[in-house]
Amino acid sequence: MLNVNHQTANFTIQDASRIAFELYGLRAKVRPLPGEHDSNFYLKTGTGQEFILKVSQAAEQRNNLDLQNKALEHLAAHDPSLLLQQVCVTSKGESIATVTTIEGKKHFVRLLTYVPGRIFAEVKPPSPALLHSLGGRLGRLDRALQDFSHPAAQRTLRWDLRHAVWIRDYLQYITQPERRAIVEHFLSQFETRVLPVLPTLRVSVIHGDPNDYNILVGEADSGHRQVVSLIDFVDVVHTNTVCDLAVAAAYAMLNKADPLAAAANVVAGYHEAFPLTQAELEVLYSLICTRLCVSVVNSAYRQKVEPHNDYLTVSEQPAWALLEQLLNVHPRLAHYTFRHACRLPACPNTGALTAWLASHVSEIGRVVEPGADESRQQQGGHRQIQRSTPDIHQRDIQDGRQRWPRMARGPSRPRPVHGAWFTCPRTVGWHRAQLCQ
């Protein structure tokens, strides 16, 4: 069972000011920042320099902090344009320092540079271009981390979607039966659709928690905002690469009238920067839903443990609302939507279907026959197809009307077939539609 219980470090503004001066020689104005794991403080010196001071919980392992530092250093070397925070050293040259409280507890301390920007969650509504830039920035980050390794990255985290089944043991903390049923629904999909496939997908070190409070947006440039950076690498882990995109997309979908369209913009940006595999696209939607389930279960449990920590439940109600919306979204619709966003055929079987039709053209014949009027229109530079009904056995027509009643109801019209539009005349070629069912 995963350990989902921890206590954050409890340091005051005065403590932070003293630590900044004693370890880094900085005299700065200090204000606290929210955080789940660390006590975080914003520092600004008299000369305008800006920093983030992070004091870890007493139980934190030094290797985990070294993992975060090394990941930031690796990213800065491989893609400086990501504009990530940089690790600062103490007056003694330490990247990770130690302070001891009056109770005798030891805490690790780090100082990072400050990256200006607005929290993504505060930009409402995010434009399609902004969502696209989020995907692009995250894709570049994951691409740069492909050859990064660290012993501490091989760990078990409750936020790692590979291990999401831990939430089944905590469902009792969701007090409303209807909400508990929603989580059980998506968790079952994860267990049947995703878990068997995960061992076949790409793995790498990833950010681990690119939620809307860990993403920074730059000031408007010609009216268009762009994602400029990601912060908080506390959940860096070696896992399936696509999990990073699933987390970012899940939070990008919050509070949206059309959440699938919002996610598609993020997916498109990511794919342009770091192409997804077809297998990753197939499980992405279920991973998104699973992340939302992990979030609400974690919030329900943590409210019992730390009822006064508002940061832990900041996204709880929007996540529940989104899960209720997604109950009406079929996984195949989401899959085809994401494929289309990546400029792939919406239906994975389109190529096979097209090839089959091409190889059996003599057996199929024409869907419509050209009339005499068509030839005259073509000679005049215009084309107008006149429908005519080929010779089809009456029994075939009757059978077709019974099996596909919409095709027998009136004038032909486009109809969705596995994410694509397929046009069928009302009484002809009904048997050909079987190929797309």
The tens digit of pLDDT for each residue in 418-427 reads 333 333 333 3
Domains located in the chain, CATH noted:
1-115 (3.30.200.20), 117-344 (3.90.1200.10), 367-436 (no CATH)
Residue 359 confidence class, pLDDT cut points 50, 70, 90: confident
Residue 291 is predicted with a pLDDT of 98
Mean per-residue pLDDT, 396-402: 45
pLDDT digits (tens, 9 = 90+) for 284-320: 999 999 999 999 999 999 888 877 766 666 678 999 9
Q: Is the pLDDT of residue 361 over 60?
A: yes
What pLDDT does residue 306 have? 76
Instruction: Say whether pLDDT at 89 is over 50.
Output: yes
Say whether pLDDT at 206 is over 90: yes
Residue 131 has what pLDDT? 98
Segment 58-71 mean pLDDT: 95
Model confidence band, residue 404 (pLDDT cutoffs 50, 70, 90): very low
Quickly state the pLDDT bin for 70 (edges 50, 70, 90): very high
Which of the two residues, 14 and 375, has the higher pLDDT score? Answer: 14
Residue 349's pLDDT is 87
Q: Is the pLDDT of residue 430 over 50?
A: no
- Structure confidence at residue 393 as a pLDDT band (50, 70, 90): very low
What is the mean pLDDT of the segment spanning 199-212? 97
Looking at per-residue pLDDT, the higher value among 358 and 213 belongs to 213
Mean pLDDT of 415-436: 36
Alpha carbon distance 196, 189 (integer Å): 11
Q: Convert the pLDDT of each residue in 146-175 to its tens digit.
A: 999 999 999 999 999 999 999 999 999 999
